[in-house]
Amino acid sequence: MSGVSLDGNSETLSLNLYPILDIFSILICFLLMNFSTQSQSVETGGNLELPISEVKMSLDEAASVSVSQKDVTIQGGVSIPLMANGDVSPDQVDQGALKLAYQEFKKLKTSQETLKNRDKSLSLNNLAFHTLTLEADKKAKFQILKRIMLSGQQAEFISWKLAVARAEVN
């Protein structure tokens, strides 16, 4: 593509588009290489920062419990405020577990049982039926995580998937 040429018979004004094509090509290559086809999306909110991990396995289900610096949110609905020491107020606790969390997990377990009764081909022994996902702020103390896990354990959820920010995208 030429620049500007002037001669006696014709006048041609051309814009050189090859550099922009080069930039677009590089950009497209970069974006395609980093493009993720996974439909999973996790909203972490403003006051929650996941710890960085070298884990290679990607998260395969949405978070059920999130622990930010200010509160604990269960199933994206019920919220329990945290005190300055990172724990909940004693009236929210029963035998070391969070009362509200236990109630929510129990509801989830009941709905799983209903699903199982409706569809006999599903097996409740499958580990996926006993698994919950925890999305916690990197500064969260184990005290509150223990209460949440204990609530899950009492409702027969014995496996937890801990969400982390991957250090590098594979």
The residues of the shown chain that bind other proteins, judged by CB under 8 A, are 1-2, 9-15, 17-18, 20-21, 24-25, 27-28, 31-32, 34-36, 38, 40-42, 50-51, 53-60, 67, 127-128, 131, 133, 136-143, 145-146, 149-150, 152-153, 156-166, 169
- Judged by beta carbon, residue 4 or residue 118, the one nearer other proteins is 4
Cα–Cα distance for residue pair 95/153, rounded to 1 Å: 12
- Judged by beta carbon, residue 53 or residue 111, the one nearer other proteins is 53
- Judged by beta carbon, residue 31 or residue 118, the one nearer other proteins is 31
CA trace torsion 156, 45, 35, 26 (10° rounding): -160
Q: In angstroms, give the least distance from the CB of 71 to other proteins.
A: 15
Q: In angstroms, give the least distance from the CB of 165 to other proteins.
A: 6
Q: In angstroms, give the least distance from the CB of 81 to other proteins.
A: 18
Q: Which 3 state secondary structure label does DSSP give 92?
A: helix
Q: Quote the tokens at residue 64.
A: 């059920």
- Judged by beta carbon, residue 118 or residue 170, the one nearer other proteins is 170
Cα–Cα distance for residue pair 156/129, rounded to 1 Å: 9
Q: What are residue 71's phi and psi, to 5 degrees?
A: -155, 170
Cα–Cα distance for residue pair 102/45, rounded to 1 Å: 23
In a 10 Å sphere around its CB, with 0-12 CB exposed, 13-18 middle and 19+ buried, how is residue 99 labelled? middle
Q: In angstroms, give the least distance from the CB of 89 to other proteins.
A: 16
Q: In angstroms, give the least distance from the CB of 106 to other proteins.
A: 15
